[in-house]
Amino acid sequence: MRWIWIAAWLCLCFTLAARAERIKDLAAIAGVRNNQLIGYGLVVGLNGTGDNTTNIKFTGQSLRNMLTRLGVNLPPGINLRTKNVAAVSVHAVLPPFAKPGQTIDVTVSSLGDADSLRGGSLLMTPLKGVDGQVYAIAQGDLLVGGLSASGRDGSRITVNVPSAGRIPAGATVEQTVPTPFGDAKYLTLNLHQPDFTTAQHIAGAINRVLGPNTANPLDSASVRVSAPQDPGQKVSFLSMIENLSVEPGEASAKVIVNSRTGTVVISRHVRVQPAAVSHGNLVVTIRENPEVSQPEPFSRGGTTQVVPRSDVQIEEEGKHMFVFDPGVSLNELVRAVNQVGAAPSDLVAILEALKSAGALQAEMIVI
């Protein structure tokens, strides 16, 4: 008997642990986020697949300005006609706490009519933040996954997207984005999925380990936590908090319908009130069986004619009516719909009708 109780207790522990999530998977620290960077540059070294500078004026202007800064003075009125250069936009994501000297990946995309960036090299390009300051410098050879080829007769084939590429570790960080992490007296945890129950559970888990009133839920999306002032202690403090296990609150009942792909997702809390559903399709089949009419032998003036013959049939599929009892669960709902052979599009129609009749107790979202 003792072993039975031990086994039952272990099963309960494993069940609770399986449902628990770490705080680091449920929330993020306010102010600790990525920052987007963008820049404008030139890709050189292309094998005749760059911009047509006759049509794309800003590419020739950018090339002229670059040569002027490098000490090459071109006579006025000369148009640079080259197909080996392309004007590009360069963007990257600067992670939080990135320090000067570290490298980040960059993405390069064509701005003009370049056919392909394969084989090109990005020249030194400053990457700026939303405040206009330079936070990184990008330069390097592009990795392009696309391919484009054309023939003299105008035929052309393109695989993937040859007008965009990436440079792994192609930008060097020049300065750090300031964050309130080091000086803040309080730290705020922002939930990825706002939920009052989850916010309460997170605050309760922190208070049980670190003492009462250490954490207070502000709303369904934020929990404020008192933190030590020393930066080293703050790191250890957050390391302890983000590894605490919390049982998140269960989401509200939702039915999500993707009208483009026919995908229907029903959450486990969806319930259906008493309702009767009858669903059937009307199939109309039209077959054309033309007949050939020929004149009788030795008749004068007769011609062979094709006489149309149409066979129209109307058939209604024998779908049975099914009844939902009060509080029907998700499994029973899916089983009942499958019994009548409803396709995904039919399931959407049934759910919308149940929602309109007030029998579907769930939020219906169409994307």
pLDDT at res. 16 = 42
Q: Residue 39 is encoded by which pair of tokens?
A: 């820049």
Q: What is the pLDDT of residues 17-46, one digit of tens each?
A: 446 889 889 998 888 889 999 999 999 999
Query: What is the pLDDT at residue 11?
Result: 40
- Which ranges of the chain have pLDDT less than 70? 1-19, 146-159, 259, 262, 275-290, 292-302, 304, 306-346
User: CB neighbours (10 Å) of residue 181?
Assistant: 18
Backbone region of residue 358 per phi and psi (left: phi > 0; alpha: psi in -120 to 50; beta: other values): left
Question: What confidence score (pLDDT) does residue 257 get?
Answer: 77
Does residue 280 sit in helix, strand or coil? coil
Q: Is 171 helix (H, G, I), strand (E, B) or coil?
A: strand
Write down the pLDDT at residue 12.
Answer: 39
Instruction: Look up residue 206 and give its DSSP letter.
Output: H
* pTM of the predicted model as reported, rounded to 2 decimal places: 0.67
pLDDT tens across 211-246, in order?
898 899 999 899 999 988 887 788 888 889 989 999
State the alpha helices, DSSP H only, in the chain: 2-19, 23-26, 57-69, 196-210, 231-242, 330-339, 344-356
Q: Return all residues near 202 (Cβ < 8 A) that are at least 6 apart.
A: 23, 26, 27, 189, 191, 215, 217, 223, 246
Q: What secondary structure does DSSP assign to 197-211, as a single string?
A: HHHHHHHHHHHHHH-
Three-state secondary-structure class, residue 168: strand
What's the pLDDT at 44? 92
The pLDDT assigned to 232 comes to 78
pLDDT at 157: 64
